[in-house]
Amino acid sequence: QNREKKQLKYGAQYKGKREDAAMQKWRSNRFGQFIHWGLYAIPGGEWKGKTYPYAAEFLKSSAHISNATWDSLSYKFNPVKFDPKAWAKMAKNMGVKYMTITTKHHEGFSLWPSKYSEFNVANTPYKKDIIGALVKAYNSEGIDVNFYYSVLDWHHPDWRYDIQSKEDSIAFSRYLNFAQNQLRELAENYPTVKGFWFDGTWDKSIKKNGWWTLKIEKMLKEIRPGVVVNSRLRADDFGSRHFDSNGDMMGDYESGYERRLPSPTDTQVIHRDWEACMTIPENQWGYHKKWDISYTKTPFELIEMLAQTTSLGGNFLLNFGPQADGMIRTEEQQIAETIGNWMKINHPAIYNGGYAKGWQRQDWGYFTQNEKDKKLYAIVFNIPISGILKIQTPEGVSIGKASLLENTNSKITIKEIAKRQINLYLPKQSFPAPFVIVLDTANEN
Ligand code: FHN
């Protein structure tokens, strides 16, 4: 198409992938933990004896709770069992390299002692700075911390969904100042922050103020050079989001994959950085008391999603919704442990992993290739009854050796059955969990 390029003041700031050290680190992480924590953890999806099956963090809206009533939950926020070190240990054992925490979700409550809003953790019975404690604990475990920030704010009187009058415009510009102040405060107060993850930017009010989204991106990068910002923050001059009116991605990575992944063969996505965020239940981010109201994914399904995402050069951000008392629910702890046991052995196929060019995906699972040392891995989820895995090799490449990552002495016989068609014969043993094969490849000439 010969579409004429539009002149944009607030569009994409660069094309292609960022290749500086901070971005490379972000990309190599591959696996992250998302945490949704706020006042919504207190009712946990229930109000006046009724269970609301919709997302727990939306209870204020689903149960039509007034601002005054919701805001008074802050007088009950007292997570006496909160142990940031225990959370960080659990995350470390699960194998994540980064964590993204809701500093402020749509309800407008700040988990740090913000000087720009009274509605913050310092004014609860708990009093202490949750964000500071988490940054310290996770960083001590070597885990990067990113800040989620909802621009949409149900609490702030100056928030507007649209700008339809002069009054709206004056109020909303006060709101934008407020949000900018909070974001500056976060960037300045927590110097090790590695990224900002924006949400709640879909309303007309923000789409009409694309200039502000660029201003914020620039401000954060000025205060914390290298910081990584998601595409969801951004709108351009015409209100296009994520991608500007010329089709170029804004921000540093695409963050549109939510509770879904690109198809395993959608190789479009490998040309940019991207991240998928995922719930364990169908659609609960904050803590919901009832987990039997929807399907919950199994640890192996989640591992498969992590493998699929890695195979397409993306990061996988898996969500946890801690309880109001500060504990992480047992089910989530168990899932984290199972994933962690898998990661302990199989992480070489994930960290730094990316798209394995030329290796056609087969139904047994996914190929990933380490973007640094170029090692090739096959992550196997479906084992044929025959125990034979089919592989189609790229033109001019052969497989010299194949072995299980968990046991490099294991014998996997390789047979070429036709040109570029290889059979791998798995050792006769049981495979109770998904596993990884390391493939040593050689160029044929
Ligand atoms: O409404 C929110 C939701 O609660 C959650 O925070 C997710 C995470 O990506 N974002 C919004 C929906 O897109």
User: Distance between CA 318 and CA 90 in Å, rounded?
Assistant: 13
Beta-ladder partners of 47:
50
275 lines ligand 1 (CB under 6 A): no
Residues 7-38: tens digit of each pLDDT: 999 999 999 999 999 999 999 999 999 999 99
First to last CA, the chain: 40
Element (H, E) at 302: helix 299-311
Spatial contact of 342 and 433, defined as CB atoms under 8 Å apart: yes
Q: Which amino acid type is present at position 50?
A: K
Residues 232-274: tens digit of each pLDDT: 999 999 999 999 999 999 999 999 999 999 999 999 999 999 9
Confidence of residue 87 (pLDDT cuts 50, 70, 90): very high
* Region of poorest pLDDT, from 2-6, 105-109, 209-213, 407-411: 2-6
User: Distance between CA 355 and CA 358 in Å, rounded?
Assistant: 9
User: Distance between CA 440 and CA 445 in Å, rounded?
Assistant: 16
The CA–CA distances, whole Å, from 167 to 154, 158, 159, 211 equal: 18, 10, 12, 20
**Rounded to the nearest whole angstrom, what is the distance from the C-alpha of residue 8 to the centroid of ligand 1?**
28
User: Distance between CA 50 and CA 29 in Å, rounded?
Assistant: 41
Instruction: Give pLDDT, residue 2.
Output: 56
User: Closest ligand 1 atom, CA of 57?
Assistant: 4
Q: Does 380 score more than 80 pLDDT?
A: yes
Q: What is the mean pLDDT of residues 270-299?
A: 97
Residues 312-353: tens digit of each pLDDT: 999 999 999 999 999 999 999 999 999 999 999 999 999 999
Beta-ladder partners of 429:
none
**Rounded to the nearest whole angstrom, what is the distance from the C-alpha of residue 269 to the centroid of ligand 1?**
22
Instruction: Give pLDDT, residue 32.
Output: 99
Percent of the chain clearing pLDDT 90 (strictly above): 97
User: Closest ligand 1 atom, CA of 258?
Assistant: 9
Instruction: Give pLDDT, residue 274.
Output: 98
**Rounded to the nearest whole angstrom, what is the distance from the C-alpha of residue 286 to the centroid of ligand 1?**
10
Residues 123-145: tens digit of each pLDDT: 999 999 999 999 999 999 999 99
User: Distance between CA 67 and CA 157 in Å, rounded?
Assistant: 10
Spatial contact of 175 and 160, defined as CB atoms under 8 Å apart: yes
278 lines ligand 1 (CB under 6 A): no
Q: Which residues of 386-418 are buried (b: 16+ CB within 10 A; e: fewer)?
A: eeebebebeeeeebeebbbbeeeeeebebeeee
Q: In the block, which residue shows the tokens 């050079």? A: 225
**Rounded to the nearest whole angstrom, what is the distance from the C-alpha of residue 177 to the centroid of ligand 1?**
23
Q: What is the mean pLDDT of residues 62-78?
A: 98
- Average pLDDT of the chain is 97
User: Closest ligand 1 atom, CA of 58?
Assistant: 4
Instruction: Give pLDDT, residue 239.
Output: 98
Enter the ipTM.
0.99
Q: Does 445 score more than 80 pLDDT?
A: no
Residues 403-432: tens digit of each pLDDT: 999 998 888 999 999 999 999 999 999 999
Q: Does 166 score more than 70 pLDDT?
A: yes
Residue 166, C-beta contacts closer than 8 angstroms, at least 6 positions apart = none
Mutation to probe ligand 1, out of 197, 201, 258 (largest number of atoms < 8 A from CB): 258
Confidence of residue 1 (pLDDT cuts 50, 70, 90): low
Percent of the chain clearing pLDDT 70 (strictly above): 99
Q: Could you tell me if residue 253 is left (phi over 0), alpha (psi between -120 and 50 degrees) or otherwise beta?
A: beta
DSSP string, 211-235: HHHHHHHHHHHHHSTT-EEBGGG-B
258 lines ligand 1 (CB under 6 A): yes
Instruction: Give pLDDT, residue 443.
Output: 84
Q: What is the mean pLDDT of residues 68-96?
A: 98
Instruction: Give pLDDT, residue 132.
Output: 99
26 lines ligand 1 (CB under 6 A): no
**Residues 351, 357, 361: CA angle, nearest 5 degrees:** 85
**What is the value of pTM for the model shown?**
0.98
User: Distance between CA 143 and CA 138 in Å, rounded?
Assistant: 5
332 lines ligand 1 (CB under 6 A): no
Spatial contact of 338 and 348, defined as CB atoms under 8 Å apart: no
